Structure 1
Amino acid sequence: MAINLDKLVGFHQNALKIRNDKMEVIAGNLANANTPGYKSRGIDFQKAMAQAQQSGGQSMTRTHEKHMSGGMVSSTEIGFRIPSQPDTGDGNTVEVQRERNEFLDTGMRYQATIEFLNGKVKGMKKAISGGQGQ
């Protein structure tokens, strides 16, 4: 019986990628917190996960060494956030406390997914070895 790793970890692989992308966007927002006119950006995790699940992990094959690889750096849609506080006068919409909270929340969820996957891998190793050793 073959083990399909995509079925086992595919959802979590997508979740890790999207959460990584989200943390990069938040880091960019925090880096531009004092930049006049900067508009805060964000990623809708639910929407991005739905898109990732629909794509079904389709990939392209590289047929020549000079061709670009088929893997996309990011297919996550990045949008602008709607500020919850009034404009401060410089046109910047970054809300530092909100960004920090989002970053911490996303980081904790990323770590939880890593821990879950580590547990899955340990379980597979144990099943393969018949419960013998580590």
Structure 2
Amino acid sequence: MLQNINLVQRALDASVLRHNAISNNIANVNTPNYKPQKVIFEDILKQELSGAGFDGKRTNAKHIPIGLAVSSQPLITQEPTVMQNSGNGVDMDSEMTELTQNSIWYQTLSYQISEEFNLLKTAIKSR
């Protein structure tokens, strides 16, 4: 159960980071040569959960970790696409769609983590 909470927490953090990136893109819609930012998290998480790659075994705490660690940190990239003559690559329709999708995703994750805590609370009370 705690693993689920940690996973949802990382997804919530990624959603907040995505919201900030989309907000920056919208704020810079008229900035010449601005390249929009994009947050990649779900693909990284899928790769981690599918067991793709490897995670090296550490026999000593001083050893350097190798392979895929269980971190699922979001990655911020810049989109190379240029859509306007000014060199700006922000597409307002696309950004507004992504903002709406991200808001729904955040609400869903918030509800899910709330339910996880309600289950924990019920388990604690029943003891």
Normalising by structure 2, we get a TM-score of 0.73
User: Is 1:122 the counterpart of 2:92 in the alignment?
Assistant: no
Task: State the alpha-carbon separation in 1 of the partners of residues 21 and 93 from structure 2.
Answer: 15
User: What residue identity is the alignment partner of 1:78?
Assistant: I
1:16 alignment partner in structure 2: 12
Residues 81-100 of structure 1: matches in 2 within 5 Å? Answer: 81-83=79-81, 87-100=83-96
Contact 1:18 1:49 in 2 (8 A): no
Unaligned stretches of 5+ in structure 2? Answer: 50-67
Unaligned stretches of 5+ in structure 1? Answer: 58-74
Residues 1-134 of structure 1: matches in 2 within 5 Å? Answer: 5=2, 7-49=3-45, 54-57=68-71, 75-83=73-81, 87-130=83-126
Quote the sequence identity (%).
24
Task: State the alpha-carbon separation in 2 of the partners of residues 20 and 56 from structure 1.
Answer: 20
Shift of 1:114: 0.6
- SS in structure 1 of the partner of residue 74 of structure 2: coil
Contact 2:83 2:91 in 1 (8 A): no
Structure 1 stretches of 4+ moved >3 Å: 50-55
Structure 1 range deviating more: 114-123 or 43-52: 43-52
2:59 alignment partner in structure 1: none
